[in-house]
Chain A
Amino acid sequence: MNQTPLPNSFRSGPDEDGRFGIFGGRFVAETLMPLILELEAEWEKAKTDPAFKAELEHLNTHYTGRPSPLYFAERLTEELGGAKIYFKRDELNHTGSHKINNCLGQILLAKRMGKTRIIAETGAGQHGVATATVAARFGLPCVVYMGATDVERQSPNVFRMKLLGAEVRPVTAGHGTLKDAMNEALRDWVTNVDDTYYLIGTAAGPHPYPEMVRDFQAVIGRETREQMLAMEGRLPDMLIAAVGGGSNAIGLFHPFLDDASVKIVGVEAGGKGLDGEEHCASLTAGSPGVLHGNRTYLLQDKDGQIKEGHSISAGLDYPGIGPEHSWLKDAGRVEYVPIMDHEALEAFQLLTRLEGIIPALEPSHALAEVIKRAPTMDKDQIIVMNLCGRGDKDIFTVGKLLGMGL
């Protein structure tokens, strides 16, 4: 599908129309178009405004707890007997995942724009919690749309959002998962255009969201680069991250895209296997299409109807993917691979016992790929994996799968 010649830099996208090659763009209803243009104009101003940058850095340091550590996983490295394994520990952030990086950036933008109401969609609830958190911090009312199925399987996060003062609206349309929540959030936005800011949680949606979310998350990769140079005096040989919508992955990858020596791997939810319908591997098993404001790889049938994905992890349960990942796949810069539910579950348990870290099920997918790759690499090679979320929210799901009642 790649129709674009290889660029001089992999870091220059998107173009002024919000495209990464054929991907991205602005496929939205006319009602939203003026809002998206207004958002883009404000974002263009903010990203070069020293005051905006300073405020965000202050919050990152004192509210989120950045920089997050780059941790050498000594026992896991020993166990696997190959490459040295480092974790970028974004699970130690306030609210327990990388999602806060983006939420702080966007709420500062919402404030600049004079918006007085925040809406968001959430799957696993991590983005919902992070949004509810920043809304509380800045004193703005917040409505979070969440698929009814997810409300049920992620009840601890639902309670957290409510404690933080957000209103959680369960969405019963479709199958009641992340894509349906996003549809409903878009419907809300179309209806409340004057006062409402839509705080999208991943590097997808219409331009400028994919670029904006990436830039807020790129703090992960920038820190990793500095920390790695300080600790090892060189760049890593490989980066591995989980991709659902793809925000934690693009955040880690982006600052390294032009370093040819760094191999980059994105890990999709292979669910119960790519042969059937129960997976969420949009890049490895999907095809390009248009949904939620952008052209990207999607899980869809031959009539262009969007399929429901499946993953053990509600955070990877989305039938699309950020458009920049689609472009990086077609350009061949990043390799995307699927990991099955059971592999992620095994990785989850291994890390818990070997390193005393309970990872979320999303990065457990990345970890399962680390477990496959590290033993095939030399001992002087280095892998950095984004440990983008902690697993407290998943203990009920895991308990059920392991046959332990909680």
Chain B
Amino acid sequence: MSARFDRTFAKAAADHRPVLVTYIMGGDPDFDTSLSIMKALPSAGADIIELGMPFSDPMADGPAIQLAGQRALRGGQTLEKTLELARQFRKTDTDTPIVMMGYYNPIYIYGVDRFLENALVAGIDGLIVVDLPPEMDDELCLPALKKGISFIRLATPTTDGRRLPKVLENTSGFVYYVSMNGITGSALPEPALVGGAVARIKEHTNLPVCVGFGVKTAEHARAIGASADGVVVGTVIINQVASSLTEDGQATGATVPGVEALVRGLSAGVRAARLAAAE
């Protein structure tokens, strides 16, 4: 069911490096630019793409991702159009796993069955839905697994040893370890602490563990990547998009190349991770 994930992690492992997971907000600042950014990610070094589904009330996100969602919604982005981004992307890339990430309500209103069917057709590999903890697995997680779409769970520092098995139970694809209590875009935690947390999760699962929240530079990516199977980068990419826009939020010639250059740098960071760790 998660063949693309397995291939991606296996390939990176063979190269002795963690994978780079990049988050972009679907439709930010507009559909076409967002599609161009998405298409540029793999060649810049991204191994997995998290495709954000904009929501009016993103309760677990910091200001950068909140604003990106607002830009996308102002630009007319809908869940249907975010699925369309994936469909278009898959026409030229059949290898890079795509994870749709967001909040439950737009999916609930779209209709869970219809969403899963269309996601499957669009080539979606996994889902991260922030406000669906294991206690709510009947809503979307179990139906998604039945369809062959992975449900990627967030584990956090508050997820203690007692709770971890419950969180991991229906998780597939990979585990996303949120490195701190807080919202997206906060400060980077101590890499040593992250390493301990990753080791703790790995006692309970054979799935790869990717770490996110707070990774902003190639150096962070390298430090975190020394202990994790993957490094997730989101806010810094969103900030790069935002800084390239005109005052009224329109894309410029610098928008796509700016993200490409940034991701290339982050990719160099993760590629250096294990080399540095081995020294």
Contact = CB atoms under 8 A, between A and B. Distances in A.
Interface stretch (B33-41, B149-157, B234-242, B260-268): B149-157
Interface residues of B, number: 43
B146 interface: no
Interface in A17-36: 17, 25-35
A300 B78 CA distance: 13
A289 interface: yes
Contacts of B136: 25-27
Interface string A151-193: 0000000000000000000000110000100010011001111
Given A29-B130, A30-B156, A31-B178, A290 B105 contact: yes
B106 interface: yes
B139 to A, nearest CB: 8
Contacts of B55: 304-305
A34 B156 CA distance: 10
Given A27-B131, A30-B153, A292 B59 contact: yes
A69 interface: no
A273 interface: no
A303 B78 contact: yes
Nearest to B159: A30
B109 A30 contact: no
Interface string B60-86: 101100100000010000111000000
Interface residues of A, number: 36
Contacts of B159: 30, 33-34
B154 to A, nearest CB: 5
B54 to A, nearest CB: 8
Contact of B79 (A30, A194, A304): A304
A183 B65 CA distance: 14
Contacts of B182: 31, 187, 190-191
Contact of B156 (A31, A183, A287, A298): A31
A60 B66 CA distance: 41
Contacts of B78: 303
Interface in B264-279: none
A302 interface: yes
Contact of B183 (A27, A190, A287): A190
B89 interface: no
Interface in B124-146: 130-136
Contact of A300 (B60, B109, B157): B109
B2 interface: no
Nearest to A184: B59
User: Interface SS of chain B: helix, strand, loop or mixed?
Assistant: loop
Contacts of A173: 63, 66
B88 interface: no
Nearest to B80: A303
B56 interface: yes
Contacts of A290: 103-105, 108, 131
A289 B108 contact: yes
A174 to B, nearest CB: 7
A127 to B, nearest CB: 19
Contact of A191 (B109, B110, B133, B183): B183
B114 interface: no
B154 A29 contact: yes
A254 B76 CA distance: 43
Given A174-B57, A306-B56, A193 B181 contact: yes
B57 A306 contact: yes
Given A17-B135, A34-B158, A34-B159, A27 B106 contact: no
Contacts of A302: 109
A306 B105 contact: yes
B56 A174 contact: yes
Contact of B60 (A26, A187, A292): A187
Interface of A: 17, 25-35, 173-174, 179, 183, 186-187, 190-194, 287, 289-293, 298, 300, 302-306
11 contacts: A25-B135, A26-B136, A27-B131, A29-B156, A30-B159, A31-B178, A34-B163, A186-B60, A290-B104, A303-B109, A304-B108
Q: Which 8 A-B pairs give the minimum distances between C-beta atoms?
A: A304-B109, A304-B106, A191-B182, A305-B56, A31-B156, A304-B105, A27-B131, A33-B133
